[in-house]
Amino acid sequence: MAAWALQAPLAFWGFVGTVRAAWHRLFGRAVVWLLFTVWTLLVLVGGSFVVAMLVFGGAASVGDPPGVNNM
């Protein structure tokens, strides 16, 4: 939840910055804001995925029967 508390407002801020820069026809700045937004969303989703893998016990390996994990 700490990742969401930090990254979600940053992603929203990046989205707002992208829209404002595009609205004012500052397309170079809009691209920078868009890259910032994408980065924050990737960190948010990636961090959430890592936490979920730690909490729920990892992923099954290739060849394991369904329902078997490696932790």
Q: What is the pLDDT of residues 8-51, one digit of tens each?
A: 888 899 999 999 999 999 999 999 999 999 988 888 877 777 77
Amino acid 46: pLDDT: 78
pLDDT bracket for residue 61 (50, 70, 90): low
Amino acid 63: pLDDT: 66
CA–centroid distance for 67 within its chain = 27
With a cut of 80, say whether residue 58 has pLDDT above it.
no
Amino acid 25: pLDDT: 93
- Looking at beta carbons, which pairs linking 11-19 to residues 24 or more positions away fall under 8 Å? 11/37, 11/40, 11/41, 11/44, 14/40
Amino acid 33: pLDDT: 94
Rounded distance between C-alpha atoms, residue 61 and residue 52, angstroms: 17
